[in-house]
Structure 1
Amino acid sequence: MNAPSHSAQPAFTLERQREVVAALNRVLPDGCVLFNEEDTRPYECDGLSAYRQLPMVVALPQNEAQVVAVLNICRTLKAPIVPRGAGTGLSGGAMPIADGVVLSTAKLGKILRVDPYSRTAIVQPGVRNLAISEAASAHGLYYAPDPSSQIACTIGGNVAENSGGVHCLKYGLTVHNVLRVRMVTIDGEIVELGGESLDAPGLDLLAVFIGSEGMLGVVTEVTVRLVPKPQVARVIMASFDDVVKGGDAVANVIAEGIIPAGLEMMDKTSSRMVEPFVRAGYDTEAEAILLCESDGIPEEVEEEIGRMSEVLKASGATAIAVSQNEAERLKFWSGRKNAFPAAGRISPDYYCMDGTIPRKRLAEVLMRITEMESKHGLRCANVFHAGDGNLHPLIMFDANKPGEFERAEAFGADILELCVQVGGTITGEHGVGIEKINSMCVQFSPQELEAFFAVKRAFDTAFLLNPDKAIPTLHRCAEGGKMRVTAGLMKFADLPRF
């Protein structure tokens, strides 16, 4: 997303920078400590480019021992650290701290082992998501989580954000596909969470660590679960003349006890912006399109495709097409996978949101978002992982027009508040970072926020790892007016707490 950058000026002295650089140069090879502006500029933001900050220093360790050394130096010098993967995140989780160090794991990029017998792979954090599947392909295996950025994003970043993808409905998120994480704490201690067996003794800290956005430690090694490639996969493309019917069809498929390999939805605006870009054969007159995939053995897929087709017809589908070969299946998916870049064809800028809602409220939420378009005077294209209720509204605006980015931010905040109102949550797979930190005040009570801080303190007492991200202080919530208490009750007090 291009937008007016909320950049900050350097908040460090040259003496401080020289002190940190000199210390890091003693433990890292030549060329692995960056501090000149032309070298640090590529690290000023992640995929949420509206918010930028030049880091004081960038450290590029090449092995675990160097990661330990960098963390020891930063702890001793009290320099904040922002762990960074490929920088494809969309919530500002990897935006630098002005007087801090960006610790990039890009140079830890080795696939250490692929074991076809245990169906696991051990990789370093800088390995690209797709590279794991490419390495396992010779054994008829692959790594299931497949975020849209899988060609570039790294497994370390996936662990930090608990990434998902179009096949997460059947195969799960990162947390369901990672067996073990080796990480370094702020104290320089190497800790292994989880294990290669089905269960591990002690507290389940692996689940706590995955999705912690670099706030608890730095990943140096990951053991992932591999799954067999299905013998066949086919996808249904169903058109609907009403977005409510499309939303209801999603709930109906799941209600029938069917768990598709993928269940994605796109509204008319999305289809029309994508079709000229990829020519996937989408019905650009349909108000909504559903993509429903089945994979497995041929007999299983044939039966499931038939069942899903019947449910979709009964739900009001006006047209149904089923992929007849692998090339056509990939063609159908190409539009959904390229929805974000295609937005650039119809709008100078776009703001990609991420929230999750109960499936049964899908149609209602889509109609409410349409009403918000009029309120904020901006268009919104909706693409999402419909099967698990993970929305990705793309709010379109022009950063060159004064006030439009601010309206886009307000639009996005309204969508997230709506997600909470209907019993959902403010994020599904993009994380909180800096983008949604104020929206955390809408969803969580002061007691819950304090519990989050307690976990943070258990790992990082000095609050040096990715500070000021993900968890808002109560003062921030009160100051921003997002945490309102009336008659002793929180907003949405009737909703279950997460």
Structure 2
Amino acid sequence: MNAPDTDSELRAAAAARQRATLAALRTALLAVLPPHCLLFDEEDTRPYECDGLTAYRQLPLAVALPENEAQVVAVLRACRELRVPIVPRGAGTGLSGGAMPVAEGIVLSTAKMNRIVAIDAQARTATVQPGVRNLAISEAAAGHRLYYAPDPSSQIACTIGGNIAENSGGVHCLKYGLTLHNVLRVRMATADGDIVELGSCGPDAAGLDLLAVFVGSEGMLGVVLEATVKLVPKPPQASVIMASFDSVVRGADPVADVISAGIIPAGLEMMDRTSARMVEPFVRAGYDTDAAAILLCESDGLPEEVEEEIARMSAVLARAGATAIAVSRDEAERLRFWSGRKNAFPAAGRISPDYYCMDGTIPRRRLAEVLTGIDALAVEYGLRCANVFHAGDGNLHPLILFDANAPGEFARAEKFGEAILALCVAAGGTITGEHGVGIEKLDSMCEQFTVEEIAAFIAVKRAFDPARQLNPDKAIPTLDRCAQYGRRKVDAGLFKFAHVPVARHA
């Protein structure tokens, strides 16, 4: 029989392969999961076609929703036998396409594994399943005057499994650290269905620090089954300063000054005028909408500590040229100030049909320079940009505003985003602080990392997942892709792994 040689024949052959794969997959998954834990119909799988980066979509063959770790292992082993790729998924709030399905693959959602296993107030730890919401940990620990510190803007919905995959941060990560600094132990399943414990609830763990490799690996190395996280005492008092500036540059300059003064704020965030004006009607946080930029600087601790730190930060901000300084008068006002910052992304819908959120990180001393560069890029690409970000650790979140229905605007927004990330790398920064690489920043990986570094990343992936079963073709570009992107010269056979094929799961 002759091989198909027309487009219609190729499409028909691909459709036949997919039907055969789906039939085998349905049989295999129904053998290890109850029917209510499986979704096959398009109307049921459609909500899983993307994560928070909705510009890129792919319908999965099926969605598995296991209820315990034995079922997770069974799904992994069934898919390994069929050579069907798997994309692990938490709540789907990620912003880099890390949880977008791959063609002819399934989504493995841990949403049903949402039990808080234990709160140990004496050890100040919480042991939870991956589907537990970030905020639910703090709610469960509140009776012990403890809470879980990492607080991404999506904390009411995002889950700890997803936080571990992305190494999520939040407005308080400057003082309390990212997810990596707050996770003690992870129980995970490999692509082969083996269960491995990483880290320890003790002061240290023997052997290589594989926990640090796993946290932030974006679902490429394994599936989280359970995690033990740190809890910290709830501060007796917290206050936040809202400082106004008449230019973005003047607002950026004192960020490094606060840190160099020996102060580590509980939070240090910045919003430009566009961000403040889109948020204020939405949440009525009390923002100064006439200011070109506002800084939110929080102090927490004992009342005496907070009073002193607020006074010291206020002095630094006044010397830097703040046109107004307001300090929260009570807890309700403090929460209002933060609610505006945390609702910046949804508020963007008030002024633009669509937005594209970037995630570059730069040295604090380069903030003013890079923000000026972003303004110039906005003019070059003819698109508005609202800046809202974790100023204290230099993690930028420019919101590029565009209309997906206007021809060419999304393509322009993508190019604008790539240019912002290139600007961050040139300033000595990195292409992501907390959102991850996913599919969004694959080309920008080639901007930042050398051929040797990318080859090392590929080798780590192979060590955990030799068949490239988990979340393939994300987070780490092939060296060929970097060559095609124009950032690296790669000759055939010169570099190890240069020609890892893109399609591996026929």
Same fold (TM over 0.5): yes
Corresponding residue number in structure 2 for 1:206: 211
Q: Judge conservation of contact 1:82–1:94 (CA < 8 Å) in 2.
A: yes
3-state secondary structure, aligned to 2:165: helix
Q: Deviations over 1:51-77 (max 9, x none)?
A: 000001111111000111011111111
Q: Judge conservation of contact 1:372–1:411 (CA < 8 Å) in 2.
A: yes
Corresponding residue number in structure 2 for 1:299: 304
Is the aligned partner of 1:181 residue 2:224?
Answer: no
Q: Aligned letter for 1:22?
A: T
Supply the distance in 1 between the matched residues of 2:23 and 2:113 (Cα, whole angstroms).
Answer: 26
Match of 1:231 among 210, 228, 236: 236
Is the aligned partner of 1:87 residue 2:95?
Answer: no
Supply the distance in 1 between the matched residues of 2:353 and 2:65 (Cα, whole angstroms).
Answer: 34
Is the aligned partner of 1:281 residue 2:286?
Answer: yes
Q: Judge conservation of contact 1:81–1:466 (CA < 8 Å) in 2.
A: yes
Is the aligned partner of 1:419 residue 2:419?
Answer: no
Q: Aligned letter for 1:90?
A: L
Q: Judge conservation of contact 1:439–1:482 (CA < 8 Å) in 2.
A: no
3-state secondary structure, aligned to 1:290: strand
Is the aligned partner of 1:478 residue 2:483?
Answer: yes
Shift in Å, 1:483: 2.9
Corresponding residue number in structure 1 for 2:377: 372
Shift in Å, 1:33: 1.6
Structure 1 residue runs without a partner (length 5+) = 1-7, 486-498
3-state secondary structure, aligned to 2:249: helix
Corresponding residue number in structure 1 for 2:157: 152
Q: Aligned letter for 1:242?
A: S
Q: Aligned letter for 2:114?
A: G
Corresponding residue number in structure 1 for 2:404: 399
Supply the distance in 1 between the matched residues of 2:191 and 2:352 (Cα, whole angstroms).
Answer: 43
Match of 1:140 among 126, 140, 145: 145
Supply the distance in 2 between the matched residues of 1:13 and 1:459 (Cα, whole angstroms).
Answer: 27
3-state secondary structure, aligned to 1:113: strand
Q: Deviations over 1:421-458 (max 9, x none)?
A: 00000000000000000100000011000000110011
Q: Aligned letter for 1:471?
A: I
Supply the distance in 2 between the matched residues of 1:391 and 1:172 (Cα, whole angstroms).
Answer: 17
Corresponding residue number in structure 1 for 2:258: 253
Corresponding residue number in structure 2 for 1:165: 170
Q: Aligned letter for 1:356?
A: T
3-state secondary structure, aligned to 1:13: helix
Corresponding residue number in structure 2 for 1:489: none
Supply the distance in 1 between the matched residues of 2:44 and 2:403 (Cα, whole angstroms).
Answer: 29
Shift in Å, 1:205: 0.2
Q: CA RMSD in A?
A: 1.2
Corresponding residue number in structure 1 for 2:334: 329
Supply the distance in 1 between the matched residues of 2:301 and 2:238 (Cα, whole angstroms).
Answer: 7
Corresponding residue number in structure 1 for 2:49: 44
Supply the distance in 2 between the matched residues of 1:70 and 1:309 (Cα, whole angstroms).
Answer: 55
Corresponding residue number in structure 1 for 2:4: none
Which consecutive segments of 4 or more residues in structure 1 shift more than 2 A?
A: 8-12, 482-485
Corresponding residue number in structure 2 for 1:221: 226
Supply the distance in 1 between the matched residues of 2:400 and 2:132 (Cα, whole angstroms).
Answer: 31
Is the aligned partner of 1:97 residue 2:97?
Answer: no
Supply the distance in 2 between the matched residues of 1:285 and 1:447 (Cα, whole angstroms).
Answer: 49
Supply the distance in 2 between the matched residues of 1:401 and 1:264 (Cα, whole angstroms).
Answer: 32
3-state secondary structure, aligned to 1:407: helix
Supply the distance in 2 between the matched residues of 1:372 and 1:31 (Cα, whole angstroms).
Answer: 49
Q: Aligned letter for 2:460?
A: V
3-state secondary structure, aligned to 1:224: strand
Supply the distance in 2 between the matched residues of 1:258 and 1:159 (Cα, whole angstroms).
Answer: 28
Supply the distance in 2 between the matched residues of 1:242 and 1:14 (Cα, whole angstroms).
Answer: 59
Q: Deviations over 1:294-344 (max 9, x none)?
A: 000100000000000000000110100000100010111111011001110
3-state secondary structure, aligned to 2:446: helix
Match of 1:122 among 115, 121, 127: 127
Q: TM-score, normalised by structure 2?
A: 0.93
Corresponding residue number in structure 2 for 1:466: 471
Corresponding residue number in structure 2 for 1:23: 28
Match of 2:272 among 260, 267, 281: 267
Shift in Å, 1:248: 0.5
Q: Deviations over 1:351-392 (max 9, x none)?
A: 011010000000000000000111000000000000000000
Supply the distance in 2 between the matched residues of 1:149 and 1:454 (Cα, whole angstroms).
Answer: 33
Is the aligned partner of 1:108 residue 2:108?
Answer: no
Q: Aligned letter for 2:141?
A: A
Supply the distance in 1 between the matched residues of 2:134 and 2:488 (Cα, whole angstroms).
Answer: 38
Identity of counterpart residues, as a percentage?
A: 75
Supply the distance in 2 between the matched residues of 1:361 and 1:478 (Cα, whole angstroms).
Answer: 30
Deviates more, 1:274-283 or 1:456-465: 274-283
Q: Aligned letter for 1:157?
A: G
Is the aligned partner of 1:408 residue 2:413?
Answer: yes
Corresponding residue number in structure 1 for 2:459: 454
Shift in Å, 1:484: 5.8
Is the aligned partner of 1:428 residue 2:416?
Answer: no
Q: Deviations over 1:109-159 (max 9, x none)?
A: 000000100000000000000000000000000000000000000000000
Q: Aligned letter for 1:361?
A: R
Corresponding residue number in structure 1 for 2:73: 68
Shift in Å, 1:479: 1.1
Q: Aligned letter for 1:404?
A: E
Q: Deviations over 1:262-311 (max 9, x none)?
A: 00000111111111111111111111100000000100000000000000
Q: Aligned letter for 2:381?
A: H
Corresponding residue number in structure 2 for 1:493: none
Q: Aligned letter for 1:296?
A: G
Q: Judge conservation of contact 1:160–1:213 (CA < 8 Å) in 2.
A: yes
Is the aligned partner of 1:437 residue 2:442?
Answer: yes
Q: TM-score, normalised by structure 1?
A: 0.95
Shift in Å, 1:482: 3.2
Q: Deviations over 1:461-498 (max 9, x none)?
A: 0001100000000111111223369xxxxxxxxxxxxx
